[in-house]
Amino acid sequence: MQFTKMHGIGNDFIIIDGFRQAIHDPSALAVKLCDRRFGIGADGLIVAAPSTVADARMRIFNRDGSEPEMCGNGIRCLGKFLYDSGICRKLAMTVETRAGVLALALEQDGGTVKRLKVDMGAPCFDPGQIPVASGSNRLTLDVEGHALRFFCVSMGNPHAVTFDLYPGDDLFHRLGPLLERHEVFPRRANIEFCRVNATGGADVRVWERGDGPTLACGTGACAVLAAGASLGLLPRAATIALPGGALDILWADDGRLYMTGPAETVFTGEV
């Protein structure tokens, strides 16, 4: 089986061409291949597949085999893969996801796709749609003696954003799994710990549902901007700094969030 290893600011993926190769159990394959000691190593496995409603379909599987609705860094990597592999030689393409069909604009430098802008859609604040088991998307959760206020957002997948704490490593690794699986989140949640920085953007540490700590999260960066702007802490256009790099997020007048960032190919191989 041929594969391509890619990353978007350190959030890394194994891309499989499902147009030319049959993938029978992608969930089990993700667990096997994403293992960093006994496999290739990645935050997730992405299958590029045919679509009847878009240029391609993205199926993404976390390291634990679970299938999330969407992945912002993953979709940028997939867009570059589709272009570079010749599957879709368009600088404007559409990709079907479990969160809907998203539009991508590819930016070239010297004929090579370097950055991609993705229309991530409108943020959802409806607690029933996120989902959260509460009458409001604004929650206060008590965990290990910390009372943290969260602003919850769906970007096709559930996010809980707090500006109350930007933890060090030990606390981050203790609180992350407890919050991800907190009973208030019926489908678990991605957790973003944030602080406003000197540039007017935000520094973010992400604990991803099904993956744990990752260097970046594209849907998370969008959720942070939507939460921060709603709370009056961030402007509607800002740079969101994550451990692996930065993403430019715009909450446009049309109500939709646009994410711009890089995607890079690391290597190709056969397994």
**In Å, how far are 241, 251, 268 from 2, measured between CA atoms?**
33, 38, 8
Please report the pLDDT score of residue 266 as a whole number.
98
First to last CA, the chain: 5
Top pLDDT among 33 and 22 is at: 33
Mean pLDDT, to the nearest integer, of 127-152? 97
For the chain, give the mean pLDDT: 97
Structurally, at CATH architecture level, domain 138-253 sits in Roll (3.10)
Say what the pLDDT of residue 105 is: 98
What band does 70 get if pLDDT is binned at 50, 70 and 90? very high
- Average pLDDT estimate for 94-105: 97
Q: Can you give the residue ranges of every domain in the chain?
A: 2-121+260-270, 138-253
How does pLDDT run across 202-211, given as a tens digit for each residue?
999 999 999 9
pTM of the predicted protein model: 0.94
Q: What is the pLDDT, as a whole number, of residue 211? A: 93
Q: Which residue has the tokens 């604990």?
A: 207
Q: Examine domains 2-121+260-270 and 138-253 and report if their fold is the same.
A: yes
Q: Which CATH class is domain 2-121+260-270?
A: alpha beta
pLDDT of residue 243: 97
d(CA 243, CA 50): 33
Residue where the block lists tokens 């109500």: 255
Side chain identity at residue 62, one-letter code: N
Give me the helices (H) in 85-213, please: 169-180
Average pLDDT over residues 32-48: 97
What are the residues facing 48 on neighbouring strands?
Answer: 17, 58
Instruction: Give the pLDDT mean for 161-175.
Output: 97
- Secondary structure letter of residue 77 according to DSSP: H
111 or 173, greater pLDDT: 173
Spatial neighbors of 144 by CB under 8 A, at least 6 apart, are 174, 175, 178
Q: What is the pLDDT of residue 250?
A: 98
Other residues' Cβ atoms within 10 Å of the Cβ of residue 127:
18
> Could you give the count of Cα atoms lying within 13 Å of 21 in the half-sphere of its Cβ?
14
Distance CA 159, CA 161 (A): 6
Write down the pLDDT at residue 233: 98
Among 136, 117, 69, 137, residue whose Cα is nearest residue 257: 117
Asked whether the beta carbons of 6 and 81 are under 8 A apart, the reply is yes
Q: Quick one: which of 256, 81, 235, 56 has its CA closest to 155?
A: 256
Active site residues: 71, 217
- Mean pLDDT on 127-140: 98
Q: Is there a contact between 219 and 225 (Cβ–Cβ < 8 Å)? A: no
